[in-house]
Chains A and B, each alone.
Chain A
């Protein structure tokens, strides 16, 4: 029973273009959503988050959008850089407790 889904296992974009990573969830009790970035042989590192009371949060090149009615969130990276190449995990939580993760999307930014 996957409560958080990332349906695209991989994504390839050109440097300078926009990367859009998508995530869907089923549990309406989730009240906080996060994106993590993961390089090989390292642990996930926090990228950006959004509370369920907001629909957008921006931090530099990274913007997360939340559509509660559709139970959908997306991460936009503009402009994409080769150093952004990594696996991106969407995660959700209730009451800031344990995280429920998606299966990840591997982003490859081509120079």
Chain B
């Protein structure tokens, strides 16, 4: 019974394409995040939503657009994919007052 799930797990696509990654959490948490792990293995925050409202938007190109249809879902749409977008994208969820964020398994995106 997966707490935070992401689809797809792997995504290989061509430059210029548009793609979406989906995230779902069944923990009843009120906050969800997208992190990017680049080639140097740093995990960096991209976006955060609390109760469907955007609360963190780091310096991310506007080709990236998060969407939260409800508290349990946070999707990431990427337009006009570039080579530098190749990375592992992790979704995480968090409940205010708890100790830690829970991470999904990651989506490995490769842009050719």
Q: How many residues of B contact A (CB 8 A)?
A: 25
- Interface range on chain A (Cβ under 8 Å from partner): 20 to 34
Give every chain B residue within 8 A of A87 (Cβ-Cβ).
41
Instruction: Find chain B residues with CB under 8 A from A91 CB.
Output: 43
B27 to chain A, nearest CB (A): 13
Collect the chain A residues with CB atoms within 8 Å of residue B100's CB: 34, 46, 49
20 A-B contact pairs sorted by A residue (CB < 8 Å):
A2-B42, A34-B100, A36-B103, A43-B92, A43-B106, A44-B90, A46-B99, A46-B101, A87-B41, A96-B94, A96-B96, A96-B97, A97-B56, A98-B33, A99-B35, A100-B45, A101-B42, A101-B44, A103-B40, A103-B41
Interface set of B (CB-CB < 8 Å, partner A): 4, 33, 35, 40-45, 48, 56, 58, 90, 92, 94, 96-97, 99-106
